[in-house]
Structure 1
Amino acid sequence: MCIRSALLSVLVLAACAGGPPVVAGGHATGQGAAPVAASASGWVRSELYFGLGSEEGGAADARTARIDEAGWREFLDREVTPRFPDGLTVFDAYGQWRFRDGEAPERLRTRVLVILHEDSAPRLADIEAIRQAWLRATGHESVLWSRHPVEVSF
């Protein structure tokens, strides 16, 4: 299980580095190329976008309250890692979001959580549970969820 976890983590990091996708059953390129060891079908790439607070730092209401690094790590440890212990990737980002009653978009510090997982009811329920936990913890209006089919290889 540890080898699978390590391979999944490497795959997630490699996928984020760019370049052409690895196709299940394909071969590596370059000198000494070897066939891909194992492949899996029926997987998706889920991206969750979490607003961490206003870039301007001036908003006092809960919807743009700053979430500090310790709060983010605690959320990751409590809600995400137990559901997806084999690996994930987090990006620091910048985003804009217009609140339902807002006239102009707010500029927000953002974290993008990327998880490659099986496209199954239990995994999708885990993603939704993470979203709902964030909304309860922060009082935010939304967590964007983007989901795309992927071909993965371990």
Structure 2
Amino acid sequence: MRYLRFASTVLLLGLASGCATTAPVASSTLQGDAAHPAQTQGWVETRLYFGLGLADDASSGISEQGWRGFLDAEVTPRFPDGLSVVDVYGQWQGKGQLSPERLRSKLLLIDYPDTVANRAKVEAIRAAWKKKTGDQSVLRVTQPAEVSF
């Protein structure tokens, strides 16, 4: 019983001393940058899936250098404030195909204010890729996003 009281007292003292310290806390959000607000309203996240070529044939399709050229020419000028690219494996089974194509792919993630102009930029990126590669499609997924920087 005496041990329980001692342990409880040590625990309470430890908790109280942790609460008593008042170290300055840094803000978890970026401050003073209009392009990267601390809080957002009306933002969305768009995911675009780009097939680069057959997974089993690295020489097919678009090279890493070709992808970066596309990113520099078509994507970054439209969304210079930031984006993310992830290497992914994808599958696509087009109309009339008996089995899916296994693809080296890129996933492009862009968070932005949901405006007509920004949605048009996303569509221009998709159109540019289809023109460059002859692909039938670039999968687009857009969802509301709560964003802070």
Whether TM exceeds 0.5 here: the answer is yes
Aligned CA distance change for structure 1 residues 99 and 119 (closer, same or farther; 3 Å) = same
- Alpha-carbon deviation of 1:66? 1.5
Pairing 1:77–2:72 present:
yes
TM-score with structure 1 length normalisation?
0.72
Q: How far 1:35 moved relative to its partner? A: 6.5
Query: In the TM superposition, what are the counterparts of 1:28-47 in structure 2 within 5 Å?
Result: 32=25, 34=27, 36=29, 37=31, 38-47=38-47
Return the index of the structure with the highest Cα Rg: 2
Shift of 1:141: 0.8
**Rounded Cα–Cα distance in structure 1 between residues aligned with 2:27 and 2:90:** 41
1:88 pairs, out of 80, 83, 93, with: 83
2:6 corresponds in structure 1 to none
What secondary structure is seen at the aligned counterpart in 2 of 1:40? coil
State the identity as a percent: 50
TM-score, with structure 2 as normaliser: 0.74
Unaligned runs of 5+ in 2: 1-23, 32-37
- What residue is the counterpart of 1:126 in the other structure? 121
Aligned residues: 119
Deviation for aligned residue 1:56: 2.2
The residue that corresponds to 2:48 in the other structure is 48
State the 1:33 CA deviation: 6.0
Q: Note the 1:5-154 alignment, pairs <5 A.
A: 32=25, 34=27, 36=29, 37=31, 38-57=38-57, 65-154=60-149
The AA in structure 2 aligned to 1:80 is: V
1:34 is displaced (CA, Å) by: 3.9
- Using the alignment, how far apart are the partners of 1:58 and 1:86 within structure 2? 31
